[in-house]
Chain A
């Protein structure tokens, strides 16, 4: 208890609080700009922390990280362009709500769900970090494969209008993730002798092309349509009764995010899709999902922000960074004298608890700063549409060019943008493309590693462990449920058509 009180004292210095405010606000703005995400934000702010003490420096970076994950949802809702890949699932219901004129409600739910997910994951982090780390270690390749298969089921959910078109987009995304060196043997795949392609394609240029650039083409095509104007952003927090009605969705999304974040290598984008897929099956309002249902925003935003807290579990407790962002955070920790690993909780418990407290303050700051940040976006989007579109083109290009300094990424973004425009015009859903690209690499590497463990016996996956058996059973249940509900829907619609026909003949 003394340690926790001392940690609270460390976190509540004016320097740390100022760093939290600056970092969170900058993170929200950076996250909201298409193409620029957590990595760019951390890259910008990391050098500023060198002269700061440990807690202040880490507070600035944690603020940028959490703020950027939330910020991505603002443009996802306003202009159907997720600022970060983590917010791609927010577009499914966020943008339809904007089109229905429920923009304040959508932003309010995104903000509140982000806050709720972030705080709940911090509480879980404080009380259950060691236990969760131990449980996460039980997730080997086969268990992760089963989990990712479950997440892939959301392709069906987001492709309500045409499952076939959704499937083919999912395959395109999966294929794009396979270009480059094979993760197991290192052999080049689909590079066609190009050196630039051998490093593969990364997610940011594809997301930038699929959402930001294709949206510019769509808006250009409909620039004479008055309905295509960017609506005025406003924020309306859900009332107590409203959020109490959806508390189960909030808790479920946060728990999924907290758990997925604790697994190394999955990340916030995968968590958002898994949470969305679960909400599609379990939400009492699931039939409205994809048409502007707050439960969709809650599922996506509560889970991706919950990851920001729980991703520190493998990073701090095991010394395993889950993705590029946590690898950068781990690098920053080492620079500031924190050595992640199994001894950390013993050797530097006070510092670790201070970071947990900082995480909670950052989420509170995010809630408070959401209003002025959205106000800034409102001011920006009031400018002539040409300025906004040109700025989005520039941010998209900068984002794609800075991911890893490979100029090929810009070409990938432009080509993806053109292809995505054609797909959107022909009624193909783009979300499965991103889902395929986000989940594909982990699905493939876990399958291949699992096959190596089982000497090529795929059937052995199903009986590998209790966790894998439970997950595969759940997957089978999901498939049966999906087929059953599709059949019921089909029967119902054909019965309605027959009834309409007989009414017309009468």
Chain B
């Protein structure tokens, strides 16, 4: 039973059910006018997610695993960069993110890695922010960086 609960598919379905339940609780305690549709949608979400959890539990066998080790690094880097953009501007978080993406996709030679990072992160930032004047989040109030 515990092994089945720890299976990623069951965990995901259970997670969806729990998130749905918390949101549904919030919706049922909110103003009835604004929460009319959310109540219906979230209650249905909970019901379906619970059904999926039960079905997945009956189907899975053993402790499944998703090999995530290096993928987690990429996911974390993307999330950190996305959060950092608000305070550091677009360019500074983009440079290490692009370098890491290139590295993880097996581009290990220093020159192509450096050129790729500068061209993709720096080049696109310069193109959009300074040439096309489509302003991206900035570090400096002057908007230069």
- Interface, chain A (partner B; CB < 8 A): 40, 43-44, 47, 164-165, 167-168, 171-172, 174-175, 178, 182, 184-185, 187, 189-190, 213, 216-217, 220-221, 223, 384-387, 389-391, 393-395, 397-398, 401-402, 405, 407-408, 410-411, 413-415, 417-418, 421-423, 425-427, 444, 447-448
Nearest chain B residue, comparing its CB with the CB of A384: B107
Bits for B68-82, please: 1 = Cβ < 8 Å to A, else 0. Answer: 001100110011011
Q: Does B49 reach chain A (CB closer than 8 Å)?
A: yes
- Shortest beta-carbon contacts, A-B, top 6: A386-B105, A407-B86, A182-B34, A171-B45, A414-B82, A410-B82
| Distance of A178 Cα from B116 Cα, bound (Å) | 39
User: What residues of chain B lie closer than 8 Å to A414, measured between beta carbons?
Assistant: 78-79, 81-82
In the complex, the answer to whether A397 meets B82 with C-beta atoms within 8 Å is: yes
Q: State which of B20, B26, B41, B94 has its C-beta within 8 Å of the C-beta of A397.
A: B94
User: What residues of chain B lie closer than 8 Å to A397, measured between beta carbons?
Assistant: 81-82, 85, 90, 94
Known A175-B41, A178-B38, A398-B128; contact A417-B78, beta-carbon cutoff 8 A: yes
Known A385-B105, A394-B124; contact A44-B136, beta-carbon cutoff 8 A: no
In the complex, the answer to whether B48 meets A220 with C-beta atoms within 8 Å is: no
A-B contact pairs, 15 of them (CB 8 A): A164-B52, A185-B34, A189-B27, A189-B38, A216-B101, A220-B105, A387-B120, A393-B97, A410-B83, A411-B83, A422-B8, A422-B12, A426-B12, A426-B13, A427-B9
| Distance of A43 Cα from B134 Cα, bound (Å) | 8
User: What residues of chain A lie closer than 8 Å to B42, measured between beta carbons?
Assistant: 171, 175
Q: A165, A168, A444: which has the most chain B beta carbons within 10 Å?
A: A168
User: What residues of chain A lie closer than 8 Å to B86, measured between beta carbons?
Assistant: 407-408, 410
Known A418-B79, A423-B12; contact A390-B38, beta-carbon cutoff 8 A: no
User: What residues of chain B lie closer than 8 Å to A402, measured between beta carbons?
Assistant: 128, 134-136
The B3-59 residues at the A interface (CB cut-off 8 A) are 8-9, 12-13, 16, 20, 23, 26-27, 30-31, 33-38, 41-42, 44-45, 48-49, 51-52, 55
Q: Does B145 reach chain A (CB closer than 8 Å)?
A: no
In the complex, the answer to whether A447 meets B90 with C-beta atoms within 8 Å is: no
Nearest chain B residue, comparing its CB with the CB of A218: B71
With an 8 Å Cβ cutoff, the count of chain B residues facing the other chain is 62
| Distance of A426 Cα from B55 Cα, bound (Å) | 13
| Distance of A243 Cα from B132 Cα, bound (Å) | 40
Q: B42, B75, B117, B121: which has the most chain A beta carbons within 10 Å?
A: B75
User: What residues of chain A lie closer than 8 Å to B116, measured between beta carbons?
Assistant: 386-387, 390
User: What residues of chain B lie closer than 8 Å to A393, measured between beta carbons?
Assistant: 78, 97-98, 101
Known A164-B55, A185-B31, A394-B94; contact A213-B78, beta-carbon cutoff 8 A: yes
Nearest chain A residue, comparing its CB with the CB of B113: A386
Known A168-B16, A402-B128; contact A426-B101, beta-carbon cutoff 8 A: no
Q: Does B63 reach chain A (CB closer than 8 Å)?
A: no
CB distance from A475 to the nearest CB of B (A): 17
In the complex, the answer to whether A444 meets B37 with C-beta atoms within 8 Å is: yes
Known A190-B23, A387-B107, A411-B82; contact A175-B66, beta-carbon cutoff 8 A: no
User: What residues of chain A lie closer than 8 Å to B55, measured between beta carbons?
Assistant: 164
User: What residues of chain A lie closer than 8 Å to B16, measured between beta carbons?
Assistant: 168, 172
Known A178-B37, A217-B74, A386-B106; contact A407-B48, beta-carbon cutoff 8 A: no
